[in-house]
Amino acid sequence: MSTNTDATTGIPAQRNGGNDEPRKPVKEQRFADGGGVLNVFSHGFLALWAVLIIGPLIWIILGSFKNNAEIGDSAWSWPSHWGFDAFTRAWNKGIGDFFVSTVIVLAGSLTLTMLLGSMAAYVLARYEFRGNRVIYYFFVAGAMFPVYLALVPLFFMMKNLGTVIPWLGLNQYAGLILVYTAYSLPFTVFFLHSFFRSLPSAVHEAAMIDGCSHTRAFFQVMVPMAKSGLISVFIFNVLGQWNQYLLPLTLMQQQSSSDPDRSMLAQGLMNLAQQSGYASDFPGLFAGMTIAMLPVLVVYLSFQRQVQAGLTSATLK
């Protein structure tokens, strides 16, 4: 177990990092062995990385209170006056509209994702029928491949769909809602599948004996029991869809000059960053970024336990 595995870890630089000193003779010392030094050492490194994470974020939020001259002059300049005019500018230049568009799409896509995802996951997890495994692996395989492989055909499919059903085409909320839902299904089904499996079947059986229908057993017995799993995957989908960039970039372009700009927040922010008009308004750009970041920060801090569990549990299964 020991030597062979060591050789395959590929961490030669750390291997002998002070591990092989001769043993201390006094038994009591073994417990505290290197503890104090290591403790200081670990706090040092951990604090350094924490600064590396928080530093740039605070610096950029500070930047939204500076003016252009201050931003360009030095990285260490301090805002000369504290005001929210950069935030107002960013909001009026489109961030406000993008914000509203994103909320509209997410309201639809999250509802659909959770409803369809939990229905599919439940049936696949709790019912035996021919083709069960095939459909399950079918869903899970979709999570393995990068989205942009499907972009070219997806773009034309939505374009053609738009000529038949106008409200489902490119640059339409309903179209994007369906696409978001479809691309969120693999992970949602995968996650909830294992969750529904882990639930005890006794309650369900009791309900069935009492004459409950399958549909009613799902909505009134299984869904309430699966609440914690549903919350985790819901938060995961909120973050994933809120931050989605590639799909709206391809599907939510203005189709003509009269077509309203329905950019999603991440996409709109990136557009603003690249527009020449914004090149001279860094405070506005930084303020826009702060606005886009705030809801994520709030969701994350309120639910960080579920977020961490939700995002990592898939890999630990």
Using CB under 8 A as the binding rule, the residues of this chain from 197 to 236 that contact other proteins are 208, 213-215, 218
- Nearest residue to 283 via CA among 68, 10, 39, 21: 68
Cα 259 to the center of its chain, rounded Å: 29
Q: Site for other proteins (CB under 8 A): how many residues?
A: 122
Burial of 64 (0-12, 13-18, 19+ CB in 10 A): buried
Task: Tell me whether residue 104 or residue 135 sits nearer to other proteins (CB atom).
Answer: 135
Q: In terms of CB distance, is 107 or 214 closer to other proteins?
A: 214
Among 12, 74, 202, 280, binds other proteins (CB under 8 A): 74
Q: Which amino acid belongs to residue 2?
A: S
Binds other proteins (CB under 8 A): choice among 12, 26, 78, 127: 127
| Token pair belonging to 147 | 């989205």
Residue 8 beta carbon to other proteins: minimum distance, rounded to whole angstroms = 8
The verdict on 280 binding other proteins (CB under 8 A) reads: no
124 CB-side CA count, 13 A: 25
Q: Name the nearest CA neighbour of 145 among 186, 114, 198.
A: 186
Q: Within positions 244 to 273, which residues make up the interface with other proteins, using CB under 8 A? A: 244-246, 265-267, 269-270, 273
> 51 vs 107, which CB is nearer to other proteins?
51
Binding pattern for the stretch 179-198 against other proteins, x by CB under 8 A and - elsewhere: x-xxx-xx--xx---x----
**Cα→Cα distances 273→46, 77, 232, 269, Å:** 32, 22, 32, 6
Q: Using the rule CB under 8 A, which residue among 120, 192, 226, 252 binds other proteins? A: 120
Report the residue number, 205 or 259, with the smaller CB distance to other proteins: 205
Asked if 43 touches other proteins (CB under 8 A), the answer is yes
92 vs 308, beta carbon nearer other proteins: 308
- Buried b / exposed e over 257-277, threshold 16 CB at 10 Å, is eeeeebbbbbbbbebbeeeee
Does residue number 2 form part of the binding site for other proteins (CB under 8 A)?
yes
99 binds other proteins (CB under 8 A): no
